[in-house]
């Protein structure tokens, strides 16, 4: 479909003339956005003075500080905000298309209530809010009857939602969509610490990413790209090494100094084999559990490393030499959104930072303390329930909520065994979707309350996952009034709380955010202009997590199944946002062609499965199945098949609906030993030619 992956990666990641993601480069996008006004569903831009207004775009998980370009108050493009210390004028491929998404035909234009199967009618806001209050009143004080699912990892909106539930007698009903921040925070606890882990990529001279697609879809990707570009100046020697160990030659590994093809089922084994090799090379640390850790790691011999990963032991030896030669090595373990790595995968990788004495050091791993709350009654996000676990209980009758509030999330599409999750939603009598777009979950709701686009709202982001130190961002509307009949979900919930006799202390979300800024010691006006507040991280005195790692499961070989690596590309969308139309040009013909999704595997795996390039196949995992075509690609790890997430939508718009298939349908969930977390990074599938 046009621009291939390597060309696109060089465009968005390569440090061409040291101007990665600057407004100069994105001038081309500006021109493209203006050209796109010819599309029927976008208004034509009037002639007049061009203005640039700061905004916080949370279309991507980390949030980009942008400047929205407008004519006559009408947004037509977005560029990076050079005043932001994180992005320094950069913008991700999702937020760059924010103006286009403002006018998307998939937007929910007004409140709607369900009037029949798949049928809705528009209603007035006062009627919609009255319906919401009536339902909440009916179950006020009945624990277990009101629940909420949030897809926002960083917003203070979560405090309002959880505080409202608490006031309604349903404090345990607050759930979050699974994500790396959630599992990593659990992992830190297993290592005897508290807080969210942070990673100082810019200060490291060797960055080993174990499953973390840090230059595309993991963490603050634009800031990570800036760090990469600064360490790889055009025409000069690199000052830092970037090494990617993961299942697929993706956008990150394509530009790294070294790529190690590690199956998704072997990341913990990879980390522990590396720990054993480092200890044998002289690495020691003062952690109280070093003896137990050393004994555990000793089981992961070079031979075990080869068996688990399919790599040669020489690769491990070379990696040890590189790490020993580095002055400030950093290890990042995890997965991008939707890949389902568990807390033990995180601990296995993070323990290497402890072993190397790289916690609380410049260029190392830090711990970010919990931020002060704006609402004292709010639930700590780390203590919230996992949405997948919650809906699994709904499916079996172990949980029986009567009312479900869904805030900026799409659990009907973006949870493992997606069809079963969508069916579980049907067991809940009254569902309210606070969504900007008509997604799969909104189509199942009984009441849809349209949320503003990021340019139309107040919003904030506390500690986007991956930042090296406590960080707070905030923004305000970049336009005088919304283009649709929308209201901020937090404003709606605050008003509902007031009518229910609950005093949450605020009337609007703008008031909440200003209070949050004051609580962390930040100036709201500075934040709203694109600035950021930063605090200090800490060392933490972490253990190596030996007791937890002793429970790490050993992957078992299965001649009938292969490991499934779900691939994320930020340009293709997120767990709650479909692919923006302009980004379809970044998808390769070997990933999606027409309506056919491709499954990628190396030649040896294809031979084992009895398929060849171009064959149509059916992949089965759990109760789900997906159809695809085969693409033989030697950039995929042994005994692994890789598929791109973000396709197979049954809702949204004509640009994404019905294209490809939803890989979430075949991701299989297991309970992680010792944590109880639902994980799916070790998903396996069977592949049959059709």
- Nearest one of 211, 182, 175, 178 to 197, comparing CA atoms: 182
Beta carbons within 8 Å of 549's beta carbon, 6+ residues apart: 268, 272, 293, 296, 344, 347, 348, 351
- Say how far apart CA 617 and CA 689 lie, in whole Å: 4
The pLDDT of residue 560 is 75
Beta bridge partners of 332: 209
Q: What is the pLDDT of residue 22?
A: 37
**Distance of alpha carbon 359 from its chain centroid, rounded?**
24
Residues 6 or more apart whose Cβ sits within 8 Å of residue 606: 612, 613, 630, 632
Q: Give the β-pairing of 385-386 and 174-176.
A: parallel
Q: State residue 326's pLDDT score.
A: 98
In the Cβ-directed half-sphere of 385, how many Cα atoms lie within 13 Å? 20
Distance CA 296, CA 326 (A): 25
Whole-structure pTM value: 0.92
Pair of tokens at residue 116: 């029949």
Query: Which pLDDT value is given to residue 3?
Result: 37
The pLDDT, as a whole number, for residue 35 is 40
List the domains of the chain with CATH numbers. Answer: 5-102 (2.20.25.90), 112-179+378-455+484-525 (3.40.50.740), 193-368 (3.40.228.10), 562-689 (2.40.40.20)
Residues 6+ apart with CB under 8 A from 640: 247, 248, 263, 264, 562, 563, 564, 565, 601, 605
- Measured distance CA(450)–CA(634) in Å, rounded: 45
Token pair, residue 552, equals 């790490």
CA-based R_g, the chain, Å: 24
Q: Average pLDDT of each block of 10 consecutive residues along the chain (690 residues)?
A: 39 36 37 45 70 96 95 92 94 96 96 95 98 98 97 96 97 93 92 95 98 95 97 96 96 96 94 98 97 98 96 98 98 78 93 97 95 93 89 96 98 96 97 98 98 98 96 96 97 98 96 97 96 90 95 66 94 94 92 96 97 98 96 97 96 93 95 85 94
Complete DSSP assignment for 9-37: HHHHTS-GGG-TT-TTTTHHHHHHHHHGG
Question: Token pair for residue 270?
Answer: 């990879």
């Amino acid at each position: 479909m046009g621009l291939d992956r390597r060309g696109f990666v060089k465009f968005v990641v390569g440090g061409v003339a040291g101007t990665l993601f600057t407004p100069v480069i994105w001038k081309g996008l500006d021109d493209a956005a203006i050209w796109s006004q010819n599309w029927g569903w976008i208004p034509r831009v009037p002639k007049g003075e061009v203005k640039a207004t700061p905004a916080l775009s949370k279309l991507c998980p980390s949030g980009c500080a942008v400047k929205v370009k407008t004519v006559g108050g009408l947004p037509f493009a977005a560029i990076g905000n050079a005043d932001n210390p994180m992005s320094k004028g950069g913008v991700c491929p999702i937020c760059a298309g924010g103006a286009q998404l403002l006018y998307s035909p998939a937007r929910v234009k007004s409140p709607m209530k369900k009037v029949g199967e798949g049928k809705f009618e528009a209603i007035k806001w006062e009627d919609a809010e009255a319906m919401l209050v009536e339902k909440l009143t009916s179950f006020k004080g009945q624990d277990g009857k009101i629940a909420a699912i949030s897809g926002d990892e960083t917003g203070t909106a979560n405090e309002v939602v959880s505080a409202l539930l608490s006031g309604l007698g349903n404090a345990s009903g607050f759930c979050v969509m699974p994500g790396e921040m959630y599992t990593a925070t659990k992992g830190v606890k297993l290592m005897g610490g508290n807080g969210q882990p942070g990673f100082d990529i810019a200060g490291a001279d060797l960055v080993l990413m174990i499953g973390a697609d840090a230059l595309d879809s993991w963490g603050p990707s634009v800031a990570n790209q800036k760090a990469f570009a600064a360490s790889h100046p055009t025409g000069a020697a690199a000052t830092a090494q970037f090494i990617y160990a993961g299942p697929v030659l993706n956008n990150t590994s394509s530009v790294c100094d070294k790529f190690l093809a590690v199956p998704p089922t072997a990341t913990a084994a990879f980390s522990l084999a590396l720990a054993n090799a480092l200890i044998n090379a002289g690495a020691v640390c003062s952690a109280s559990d070093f003896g137990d850790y050393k004994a555990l790691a000793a089981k992961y011999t070079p031979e075990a490393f080869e068996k688990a990963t399919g790599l040669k032991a020489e690769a491990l030896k070379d990696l040890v030499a590189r790490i020993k030669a580095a002055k400030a090595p950093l290890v990042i373990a995890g997965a991008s959104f939707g890949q389902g790595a568990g807390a033990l995968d995180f601990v296995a990788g993070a323990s290497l930072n402890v072993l190397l004495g790289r916690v609380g050091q410049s260029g190392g791993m830090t711990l970010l303390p919990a931020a002060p709350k704006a609402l004292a009654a709010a639930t700590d996000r780390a203590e919230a329930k996992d949405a997948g676990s919650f809906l699994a209980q709904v499916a079996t009758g172990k949980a029986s909520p009567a009312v479900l509030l869904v805030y900026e999330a799409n659990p009907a599409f973006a949870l493992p065994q997606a069809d079963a999750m969508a069916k579980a939603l049907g067991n809940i009598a009254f569902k309210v979707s606070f969504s900007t777009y008509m997604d799969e979950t909104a189509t199942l709701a009984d009441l849809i309350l349209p949320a503003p686009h990021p340019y139309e709202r107040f919003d904030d982001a506390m500690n986007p996952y991956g930042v090296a130190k406590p960080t707070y961002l905030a923004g305000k509307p970049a336009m005088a009034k919304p283009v649709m009949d929308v209201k901020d979900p937090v404003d709606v919930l605050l008003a509902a709380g007031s009518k229910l006799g609950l005093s949450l202390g605020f009337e609007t979300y703008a008031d909440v955010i200003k209070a949050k800024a004051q609580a962390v010691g930040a100036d709201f006006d500075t934040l709203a202009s694109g600035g950021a507040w930063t605090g200090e991280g800490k060392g933490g005195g972490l253990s190596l997590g030996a007791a937890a790692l002793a429970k790490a499961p050993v992957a078992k070989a299965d001649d009938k199944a292969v490991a499934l690596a779900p691939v994320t590309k930020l340009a293709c969308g997120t767990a709650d946002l479909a692919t923006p139309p302009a980004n379809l040009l970044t998808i390769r013909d070997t990933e999606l062609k027409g309506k056919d999704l491709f499954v990628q595997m190396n030649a040896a795996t294809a031979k084992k499965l009895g398929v060849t390039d171009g064959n149509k196949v059916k992949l089965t995992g759990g109760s789900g199945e997906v159809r695809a075509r085969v693409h033989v690609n030697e950039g995929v790890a042994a005994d692994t098949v890789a598929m791109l997430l973000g396709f197979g939508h049954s809702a949204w718009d004509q640009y994404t609906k019905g294209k490809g298939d939803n890989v979430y349908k075949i991701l299989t969930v297991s309970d992680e030993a010792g944590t109880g977390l639902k994980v799916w990074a070790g998903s396996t599938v069977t592949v049959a030619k059709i």
